[in-house]
Amino acid sequence: MKRLAYYVVRVFTAFDWPLLLLLALFAGLGLTIMHSAVGGTDWRFAEQARNFVLAFFVMWAIALVPPHMLLKLALPFYLAGVLLLLGVEFFGVTSKGATRWLDLGFVRLQPSEMLKISVPMMLAWYFQRHEGSVRVPDFLVAAVLLAVPFILIIKQPDLGTGLLVFGAGFFVIYFAGLSFKLLVPVTVIGVAAVTAIVVYEEPLCQPETDWVVLHEYQKHRVCTLLDPNADPLGKGFHTIQSTIAVGSGGLYGKGYMQGTQTHLDFIPERTTDFIFAVYAEEFGLYGGVLLLVLYGLLLLRGLTIAMRAGTQFGRLLAGSLTMVIFVYVFVNIGMVTGILPVVGVPLPFMSYGGTALLTVGIACGMLMSISRHRAVRE
């Protein structure tokens, strides 16, 4: 009887309550804006509610797994992900010009999604094994571990997911002790490249110009960012309409379910990648700031869990997963407001979609596992 009581208590004490409170607020806000985006409670709203419930129980299950078990799962999880990516490369299903899915007969998978979790787990596992004796060759090995899935994902092509996977791995490497001085040359090269693209926009964006390192559609996205009015009814339509919606919200917004850009169907993909435009139009600048504050509190809680983690693995994994959520938010809002190219990156807890919500739920479950383990040790 005592053992049963112990397990019952354990199940219901798996949560990190400050994090859970923030997630509950996001769930309520996400469903509220989804209700407006779809114009009622149609099947998309119902499915998103179901997705939240599923993500909650997955998060709860992951939170019950102790970090030392996550450590043991890191290597097989990573290898399985890379093998599935290789499967996509040779046997993948192509849709809309991209080969991102693997049909196993009974289920259709997009393996790149699992790499958002397995890559930081793998790198955290690697640096845990070399704790206290990390040298330059170790960073080179970590770079290879990151480069393999990143290159396979970029080849699909899937730039948005590739950037998220790269970011997840990079943050682990950086938190493991990568010198900031090594990032200075990369930053200088990046700034120089962006400056060159802006200065030589006209010749670079000509149809006959081949950018070599980017696919043609990726080139168009960058050129559209620089001048969306060059093709206002085509490639620039998304950016133009989303920025109009954000700007038309003003300080206070037009009111719940009163957004004209939204409900007159001017905002494309309004339930997924561009849902922030719906939110900003209806709740205005003040509502947007409030949303950013909530995301800031979420990031602060995640980084606090990382700093208090009892192991190197826990610190690196929690820090990386938290920063991946930051990348999600930064890239999506930057895309919607016209300061970044349009890529397929959803806004966490707000955009419609079960896969992305499940991925974030797993990440939050791991944060709770790391937090709970620290609490037990104390």
Residue 368: CA atoms inside 13 Å, Cβ hemisphere, count? 30
Nearest CA to 135 out of 169, 174, 186, 177 is that of 177
Confidence of residue 1 (pLDDT cuts 50, 70, 90): low
The domain locations on the chain are 17-64+232-378
Instruction: Evaluate whether 271 touches 352 at the Cβ level (below 8 Å).
Output: yes
pLDDT of residue 96: 64
Q: Bigger pLDDT: 158 or 170?
A: 170
Confidence of residue 376 (pLDDT cuts 50, 70, 90): very low
CA distance 335 to 274: 8
pLDDT of residue 291: 93
Confidence of residue 187 (pLDDT cuts 50, 70, 90): confident
Q: Which residues pair with 98 in a beta bridge?
A: 95
pTM exceeds 0.85 for this model: yes
The one-letter code for the residue type at 196 is A
**How long, in residues, is the chain?**
378
Residues 6+ positions from 13 with CB-CB distance below 8 Å:
372
pLDDT of residue 377: 45
Long-range Cβ contact pairs of 42-46 (< 8 A, separation 24 or more): 44/271, 44/352
Read off the pLDDT of residues 97-115 as tens digits, 9 standing for 90 and up: 677 777 776 666 778 888 8
Average pLDDT of the chain, as a whole number: 84
Residue 243: CA atoms inside 13 Å, Cβ hemisphere, count? 17
> Among all chains, which residue has been given the structure tokens 């290898």?
79
Instruction: Evaluate whether 369 touches 331 at the Cβ level (below 8 Å).
Output: no
Burial track 196-217 (b if 16+ CB lie within 10 A, e otherwise): ebeeeeeebbeeeeeeeeeeee
Instruction: Evaluate whether 227 touches 210 at the Cβ level (below 8 Å).
Output: no
3-state SS class at 222: helix
Residues 6+ positions from 290 with CB-CB distance below 8 Å:
283
The one-letter code for the residue type at 152 is L
Instruction: Examine the pLDDT at 375 and tell me if it is beyond 60.
Output: no
Cis, peptide link before residue 157, omega less than 30° from 0: yes
Q: Bigger pLDDT: 344 or 32?
A: 32
Instruction: Evaluate whether 276 touches 311 at the Cβ level (below 8 Å).
Output: no
pLDDT of residue 9: 56
Instruction: Examine the pLDDT at 12 and tell me if it is beyond 70.
Output: no
